[in-house]
Amino acid sequence: MGYTDQRFNVNLSILYTELPLLERPAAAAAAGFTAVELWWPWIETPTPDQAELDALKKAIEDAGVQLTGLNFYAGQLPGPDRGAVSVPGEESDRFRANLKVAADFAQSLGCKALNALYGNRVEGVDPAEQDKLALENLVLAAKEADRIGAILLIETLNKPESPLYPLVSAPAGIEVVDKVNEATGLGNAKFLMDLYHLAMNDEDLPQIIDAYAAKTGHVQIADKPGRGAPGTGELPLEELLDQLKKAGYEGYVGLEYKAPDAAASFGWLPAGARAAR
């Protein structure tokens, strides 16, 4: 067990940001990784030119890495936004415009997981109205994911860093997962268990793993405090991942931590254990 027994992927939207986007897949491959994930890379637009999509696809294919996760359009992320699903008006429209584009791109690379960030509470808008809109949009997203044989991920964030985001506990995220599955009958909505965010909320991580491993479609990690690489903080990440595996989780573990020099940050994981098995 331990780190060498996991399937890791590198989040290219938070690691290797010192490099241009199109150079990051090859950098991850050079470090020994064979799987990568991305936030929606075009924060200005839900519908980039086909040439931009093709260039990123080629960079991923040329590097010989597998894209295992992709966010739908999520507004200014990184930045002040935390998704568009529940944000009325233009942002909701942008999310809907992005659904087919993101799903088609994921399908072109064999990516089977799409993440839809819920979005912040908007001042002056009834939270119940936002939740109604969110469910409508997540149903559309689940159907789009199902079209390409993928799962839809629902992620909880943490209140200290995302005070306006309503899903800041594992139960809150699971409740949305259940509502989407009930509404679609597809069963392809899953929980994105980010151990860093849950720890920042002071949640009981072993208890959450026991309770929700079966509904979890993806896991992400960073150490706490600081959101750095494993071993830079206080979280027993190796033990927690072992517990997840024992609970039946067999998916990828996304490395979604911050490091000024990504290549130098992987010392905690032996080079021979970086290729996803």
Q: Which amino acid is at 276?
A: A
Euclidean distance between CA atoms 35 and 8, whole angstroms: 7
d(CA 237, CA 136): 35
Phi-psi label, residue 22: left if phi above 0, alpha if psi -120 to 50, beta otherwise: alpha
Catalytic residue list contains 155: yes
Determine whether 125 is exposed, middle or buried from the number of CB atoms within 10 Å of its CB (0-12, 13-18, 19+).
Answer: middle
- Scored b (16 or more CB within 10 A) or e, 41-67 reads bbbeebebeeeebeebeebbeebebbb
* Rg from Cα positions in the chain: 17
144: annotated active-site residue: no
Out of 37, 91, 144, 256, which one is annotated catalytic? 256
From residue 108, give the alpha-carbon distance in Å to each of 9, 43, 201: 19, 21, 36
d(CA 183, CA 225): 37
The answer to whether 221 and 196 have CB atoms below 8 angstroms apart is yes
What DSSP character marks residue 83? B
Catalytic residue among 44, 155, 182, 203: 155
Residue (of 229, 134, 222, 216) closest to 174 by Cα position: 216
Instruction: Cite the active site residues.
Output: 155, 256
